[in-house]
Amino acid sequence: MTVRKPSLIGDDIISIHVEDAAEAQAVAALLKQRLGPAEVEVVPALDSVAVYFDLMTDEPDAMLERCTTALTQDRAKVPIGATMLHTIPVRYGGKVGPDLAAICVQLELSEEGFIARHTAKPFVAEAIGFAPGFAYISTEGLPSVSRLKTPRASVPAGAVGFAAGYTGLYALGGPGGWPLIGQTDVKLFDPDADDPFLIRAGHCVQFVVSER
Question: How far apart are alpha carbons 136 and 167 in whole angstroms?
Answer: 6
84 near other proteins, rule: CB under 8 A: no
Residue numbers 45-64 binding other proteins by CB under 8 A: 45-50, 52, 55-56, 59-60
43 near other proteins, rule: CB under 8 A: yes
137 near other proteins, rule: CB under 8 A: no
With vertex at residue 96, the alpha carbon angle to CA 46 and CA 45, rounded to the nearest 5 degrees, is 5
Stretch near other proteins under the rule CB under 8 A, chosen from 69-77, 108-116, 159-167, 190-198? 190-198
Residue 94 or 175: which CB sits closer to other proteins? Answer: 175
132 near other proteins, rule: CB under 8 A: yes
Helix (H, G, I), strand (E, B) or coil at 43: strand
Q: Which phi and psi (to 5°) does residue 49 adopt?
A: -130, 135
Helix (H, G, I), strand (E, B) or coil at 51: strand
Give min distance, CB of 211 to other proteins, in A.
29
Residue 130 or 141: which CB sits closer to other proteins? Answer: 130
With vertex at residue 165, the alpha carbon angle to CA 4 and CA 169, rounded to the nearest 5 degrees, is 95
Residue 52 or 209: which CB sits closer to other proteins? Answer: 52
For residues 197 and 133, the answer to whether their CB atoms sit within 8 Å is yes
10 near other proteins, rule: CB under 8 A: yes
Give min distance, CB of 27 to other proteins, in A.
12
12 near other proteins, rule: CB under 8 A: yes
Estimate the crossing angle of helix 100-107 against helix 111-118, to 10 degrees. Answer: 90
